[in-house]
Amino acid sequence: SQAMRGTELMIGEKPAIFLAPHAGNWELLGFFPTLMGFRMHALARPLDNPMLWKWALGKRESRGMRVITKFGATEELQEIVNSGGRIAFIADQNAGEDGIFVPYFGQMASAYKSIALFAIRYEMPVAVGVALRVGDGFNYAIHTMDIIRPEDWRDHDDPVFYVTARYTHAMERAVMLDPAQYLWIHRRWRSRPKWEREGKPLPDRIKAKLRTLPWIDDAAMARLEEDALRNGRELAGSAT
C-alpha cells in the first residue's frame, strides 16, 4: 500500500522520526498510530491562545499521543530515543534567517537544522508522509513519500544539508500529490539567505552542495541562480 514503508518503520523496535508538511490532515498522521497502539510523541509549539491550546492538547492526547512543547524538550527527546519511541514533527515551517537554506518549490527556503542534527546524532531513520483527503467524506489515504536512513547520509560531506534538503524535497512531492490541500498561507519563503540580503549571487559553495542532490538538474540549478539574483535585486531596491 501507499503507507507500507512508513508502517514497517512504525512497528519496528528502533526509534524513528516522522515528518509531514501542512497538507491534508496532518493531525490524523499522529492520531491514527496511537489508535493502533503505537507510542507516538509529537513536538509542537504551544498556541498563543492558552484556552485554545488547552483544548487542542486535550484532543491530541486523548488517545495516547504525548505532546512535547519545543521549550526545554531536549531531555525528554533523549528519553524517548533511549526507549525506542517515535517522534513526529510538522517540518515545513520557516526557520528564520539562521536556518539552513534548501530548495523548496524552486526557491531556497529556510529550514530548521535540529531535525537533521537529531537524526544524525542518534542514527535514526527519517520518514516523510502525508494524509490526503479522498473524495468528499472523511476518507484519507496515507502516503509514505521517502525514508532517509543513516547509510544514505553517512558518506556526504555535509550530511545536515543533505538530510534537510531530502526531507524538504519529499514534502514538496507530497504537496504536489494534491496542491489544493496544502496550507499555502504560511509564509514559507519569508526569510532570505545572507547572499540575497547582501545582493550577491548564489555562492559557489552552495552550488557545490546543490549538485550533490540527485533531483537538482541543470534546469533546476539555473532557476535557483536566477531566483537568487532576482531576490537580491528586489531586496536591494527595498532597502533604498
At 71 the pLDDT is 55
Burial zone of 81 (CB within 10 Å; 0-12 exposed, 13-18 middle, 19+ buried): buried
Please, what sign has the CA dihedral across residues 83, 117, 42, 51?
A: positive
CA distance 186 to 92: 9
pLDDT, position 57: 72
Q: How much is the pLDDT for 225?
A: 94
On the question of pLDDT at 162 being above 70, the answer is: yes
Q: Give residue 162's identity as a one-letter amino acid code.
A: Y
- What's the mean pLDDT in 96-108? 95
Task: Determine the Cα–Cα distance for residues 26 and 91; give it in Å rounded to an integer.
Answer: 11
Angle between helices 50-61 and 26-35 (to 10 degrees): 40
Neighbours of 95 (CB within 10 A): 18
Lowest mean pLDDT among 5-9, 57-61, 87-91: 5-9
User: DSSP secondary-structure letter at 14?
Assistant: S
Distance between CA atoms of residues 205 and 203, nearest Å: 5
> Please, which residues have CB within 8 angstroms of residue 236's CB and are 6 or more apart in sequence?
199
Query: What average pLDDT does range 124-145 have in this prediction?
Result: 91
- What is the average pLDDT across 57-80? 72
pLDDT score of 49: 86
